[in-house]
Structure 1
Amino acid sequence: MTTAIEKAPPPPEPAPRLERPTFVDPLFTEVRAILRFIGQTIVELPKSLRYPDEVLRQAARLIMGSALVVWTLLIVDGVLVGQIGHYLLQQIGAQSYVGLFAAAGTLKGSAPIFFGFIVAAKVGCGFAAELGAMRINEEIDALEVMGISPQAYLVGTRVLAYIVVAPALWLIGIGLCFYANYLTNVPILGSVSTGGYFSVFWAFTTPTDFALLALVWAILPTILVIVIGCYFGMTAKGGPAGVGENTAISMAVNVSLITILGAGIMFQAFYGTGVVVPIAN
């Protein structure tokens, strides 16, 4: 007599393990790599002083290739803000206060952001494309074989060149921006007299704002823009298509950085609620 052998029930399937979404990992990996690259650039920066000829060559390239573009767009910013100020104040009969738009509108508002966007588009993307082409053509590998640090020779020299050139680019550019604003409001549109324009202008700003705060506000974020552009160039791969993709990514990252850091964090850090606006006076 045979007895039926009962089969044991199959073991229950283990519950699926909760995992972080996979799209988070590449993002944090990229951010960590960018921060590491920035730190390494700072460490290697003194070594870049060994190549003064390359620093001067890069500075000359920046002046010849980018100065006209930067200054032209800052002039456009001055004209645009001047027109907005004139037609806005004309509606309420307060044209005599048009100088406030040059002071609070450009110096403490649009001009540093315009400057950052221009540097991101012209200089940052240019460095990304240039170093990316060197990477896929194995020129950077050749430097490493010769015992030359690419971080010092290629990245550090470009950062030092920008630090040398940037103050002149900004100060001349903001001066042209103010002059364009003045021409728009005084001789062309006739909003106010010359004395009235400058009286209100200096009531809404101070020499410290002009010579220090706005200078630092404009240059510090753009130094990061330069380094990030070099990072995406140094890490390019996949041929010309990869260089183009990295250049586009560098543009997106740098514009976001300028918007968040320049238009938000640094404005609050430098001015906060203490912007000189003596309208009540």
Structure 2
Amino acid sequence: MSYSNYDAGTGQRHARDELDLFGRHAIFYARSLASIPHALVHHRTETIRLIAEIGMGSGALAVIGGTVAIVGFLTMAAGGTIAVQGYSSLGNIGIEALTGFFAAFINVRIAAPVISGIGLAATLGAGTTAQLGAMRVAEEIDALEAMAIRPVPYLIGTRIVAGLVTVIPLYSLAVIASFLASRFATVDIYGQSPGVYNHYFDTFLIPTDILWSFAQAILMALAVMLIHTFYGFHATGGPVGVGAAAGHAVRASLVAVVMVTLLTSLAVYGTSGNFHLSG
């Protein structure tokens, strides 16, 4: 066999493997979404337990508040950074009064959704992959099937519901934290007048942008949960395999978070931007 034929055969096998993996993802996602009604009806107690665990953490993580505290701190830092960079950059051309506009515009449309998605992937998603992967390598999922318990609704459907329920108050806290951090940095650190900041912030904070931001956060949470549950549910190779699955899931979910942001921005703001600055 010549090298050219070998390379062609290898490329074809690689393409078939990638297509097969894509099909496995699609089938698993469809089964997971279809299992949500069954999970809500037959596994309500497990769903409620997972909501509490995801929101406030378990064990030592519960001391700092779990995913809620981590995402809150991340978005607070992002909001403060936006205020610092915005005030300094706008001040170079003498329009630092527009820092309130900068905070209202960037926090809602970019910073809070993206930072929240990254926090979800690093906390909620990675923890879900580790839990399901540990159950898979310990044959606990096989034991559920032996007891006639459908593993997809019990393990996947409940976690998707818990993630979607938790993301609403979690993202609310994230947006508020980013707003407060931006205002604190601008007014209390740089000394801008509260009236000036509030005027531009209230003028350019569009309520529909906040609603679209929440929709974006929900789509991110759904994508993160689907990706991480897939890799955890299909983990192999013992503890090392679970770690590898978590790494693959985090990388894939980070790409998904950015893609959701891009597609949402194109769909909602791609034509007009829903924003006009004049004067």
Instruction: State the TM-score, normalized to the length of structure 2.
Output: 0.90
Check whether the contact 1:159–1:227 (CA below 8 A) recurs between aligned residues.
yes
Q: What are the residue-to-residue correspondences of 1:82-231 with 2, within 5 Å?
A: 82-190=83-191, 192-210=192-210, 212-231=211-230
Q: What is aligned with 2:30? A: 39
- More displaced stretch, 151-160 vs 216-225: 216-225
1:48 to 10, 19, 39: 39
3-state DSSP of counterpart to 2:74: helix
CA drift of 1:62 comes to: 1.1
Q: What is aligned with 1:6? A: none
CA drift of 1:16 comes to: 5.4
Whole-angstrom distance in 1 between the partners of 2:183 and 2:157 = 39
Q: What is aligned with 1:232? A: 231
1:272 to 267, 270, 273: 270
Whole-angstrom distance in 2 between the partners of 1:274 and 1:84 = 26
Check whether the contact 1:45–1:152 (CA below 8 A) recurs between aligned residues.
yes
Check whether the contact 1:203–1:278 (CA below 8 A) recurs between aligned residues.
no
Amino acid in the other structure paired with 2:239: P
Structure 2: 5+ residue runs without aligned partners?
Answer: 57-65
Q: Cα deviations across residues 72-121 of structure 1 (Å, max 9, x unaligned)?
A: 10100111111010100110110110012211111111210111111111
Q: Cα deviations across residues 61-80 of structure 1 (Å, max 9, x unaligned)?
A: 11112111010101001111
Check whether the contact 2:164–2:221 (CA below 8 A) recurs between aligned residues.
no
CA drift of 1:125 comes to: 1.0
Whole-angstrom distance in 1 between the partners of 2:184 and 2:274 = 24
CA drift of 1:205 comes to: 2.7
Whole-angstrom distance in 1 between the partners of 2:274 and 2:196 = 18
CA drift of 1:161 comes to: 0.9
- 1:242/1:94 CA distance change after superposition, 3 Å: same
Structure showing greater radius of gyration is: 1
Whole-angstrom distance in 2 between the partners of 1:109 and 1:196 = 23
Amino acid in the other structure paired with 2:72: W
3-state DSSP of counterpart to 1:21: helix
Amino acid in the other structure paired with 1:60: A
3-state DSSP of counterpart to 1:168: helix
Structure 1: 5+ residue runs without aligned partners?
Answer: 1-12
Instruction: Report how many aligned residue pairs link the two structures.
Output: 265
Please give the root-mean-square deviation of Cα atoms over the aligned residues, in Å.
Answer: 1.7
Question: Identity across aligned pairs (percent)?
Answer: 31
Whole-angstrom distance in 1 between the partners of 2:44 and 2:276 = 48
- More displaced stretch, 69-78 vs 16-25: 16-25
3-state DSSP of counterpart to 1:280: coil
Whole-angstrom distance in 2 between the partners of 1:175 and 1:201 = 13
CA drift of 1:215 comes to: 0.2
Instruction: State the TM-score, normalized to the length of structure 1.
Output: 0.90
CA drift of 1:200 comes to: 1.2
2:49 to 39, 57, 62: 57
- 1:43/1:95 CA distance change after superposition, 3 Å: same
Whole-angstrom distance in 2 between the partners of 1:246 and 1:145 = 25
Whole-angstrom distance in 1 between the partners of 2:91 and 2:168 = 35
3-state DSSP of counterpart to 2:205: coil
Q: Cα deviations across residues 108-139 of structure 1 (Å, max 9, x unaligned)?
A: 11210111111111111110111000000010
Which 4+ residue blocks in structure 1 deviate beyond 3 angstroms? 15-21
Check whether the contact 1:70–1:173 (CA below 8 A) recurs between aligned residues.
yes
The structure in which a higher percent of residues are helix is 2
CA drift of 1:278 comes to: 3.0
CA drift of 1:206 comes to: 1.2
- 1:203/1:274 CA distance change after superposition, 3 Å: farther
CA drift of 1:202 comes to: 2.6
Whole-angstrom distance in 2 between the partners of 1:94 and 1:214 = 27
3-state DSSP of counterpart to 1:23: helix
